[in-house]
Amino acid sequence: MRRVYQKGYVFQKGRKRSDAWQPEEPAFVQFWRDVPGQDQPTKEAVHLGLCRTRTIAERAAAEKLEQLGINSTQTFIEATTNITFNEQAEIWLKACANRKKRPLEQTTLDTRRYALDKWMYPFFADKLLANIHNAAMKEFVNHIADLSPATIRDYLNIAKSVVASARDAEGKVLFPREWDDDFLDAPEIDEQKQPTVDREEMEAILRESQEPYLSLYSLLAGCGPMRPGEALGLDIRAIHPDFRTLDIVQKAKRGELQDYMKTKNAHSKHGRVVDLPVALATLLREFVGARRSGLVFCKHEGSQLMQRDILKYSLHPILKKLALEQGGLNIFRRFRITAMETAEVPQALQHTWSGHARTHVSEVYKKLLKQREWRLGWAERAGMGFSLPERKNPRNAQLAQLIEFRRVG
């Protein structure tokens, strides 16, 4: 196989190099091209047009070979690196799972595995990475055109990531690409709906709710705020004795408890807390009652409440009955974030409670964790943003009054 720099062989058809040059005859240049997937290069010739002298033709040939990338290192790498899309995708997916920096959750890995198996492997099959440029990616976009715009964007990004993940021993990208989004013509994503509710609608939802959903919805809408998975993963031992502060150390997701949070801020080595106003703390104390361990929100035998079941059997029927826009449990988190803004809660404290990526220096975050009385003052000042419905015979209320709550561990 060729491994040397090429100048190319300039010629005119039907004439030998020793023959006189004919200005009126077209010139050609012959060269060897490395082709991805082939062990041996192929001989090619391209038209140079009319050249007045052989020297001019040789200069035109050099420009043509440069234009075609015949002598470029990148062309050689792509021609001699015979890895397919499917092979690299498996390497990429494994790296996503095992990397030390921001490893992906299993649910995200499962989603990517599905996209690869269902849509990408059948389409790209054994296509070499070297042959995947804008044209091939545009064909893929057309292949998945019936999917939603957001899904098309996600799958396109996965395919791009697979191509970009191929690197040499020094970490250099083997197949750099300049993706032309206009050429790929993926559909634009409409502004995503983020259903939320106002105070009146929130109170209507709570009036229609039964336990344990009433306490769950009230906590999500009236504290920190917490994410749904954090509330469903809340352990009783993570509640401070006065029920005014919760330590967020785990979350529930698809039947499993995960001891890492969605964002780095939510899983800081300094911990994350959310604080409750007195009325909400009283509700939570009554709901927990005499229990001393286990999940706050759980089934009778102690297992997790599943988000899909909460939506199916409680929230969605309530929203439908009230003729409100259907949404998930995040409607309560959005309600709370809005309530904190209107109550003019300091931004640094909002970040501390919500677990958003911090825009403040870490020292501010650490100091706020130590200023519990100040945080509780703001929690009370902001309030819940709604009134709790009148409850008859609150769950465990009598036991809660008889037994002093003591934190375990």
Digit-coded pLDDT (tens) for 116-165:
999 999 999 888 888 899 999 999 999 999 998 989 999 999 999 999 99
- Whole-number pLDDT of residue 31: 87
Least trusted range by pLDDT, from 19-23, 41-45, 394-398 = 394-398
Query: Thinking of the domain 85-184, which architecture would CATH place it in?
Result: Orthogonal Bundle (1.10)
Structure tokens at 309: 């079941």
Average pLDDT estimate for 213-225: 91
CATH fold of the domain at 199-402: hpI Integrase; Chain A (1.10.443)
- Whole-number pLDDT of residue 408: 45
- pLDDT of 253 over the 90 cut: no
Angle at 200 between CA 199 and CA 206, to 5 degrees: 90
Long-range contacts of 310-314 (CB under 8 A, 24+ apart): 310/213, 310/216, 314/209, 314/210, 314/213
- pLDDT of 263 over the 50 cut: no
- pLDDT of 24 over the 60 cut: yes
- pLDDT of 59 over the 80 cut: yes
- pLDDT of 357 over the 60 cut: no
pTM of the complete model: 0.60
Q: Give CATH 1.10.150 domain extents, the chain.
A: 85-184
Q: Give CATH 1.10.443 domain extents, the chain.
A: 199-402
Q: Are the beta carbons of 157 and 92 closer than 8 angstroms? A: no
Angle at 332 between CA 328 and CA 336, to 5 degrees: 150
CA dihedral 138, 144, 147, 150 (to 10 degrees): -40
Average pLDDT, the chain: 83
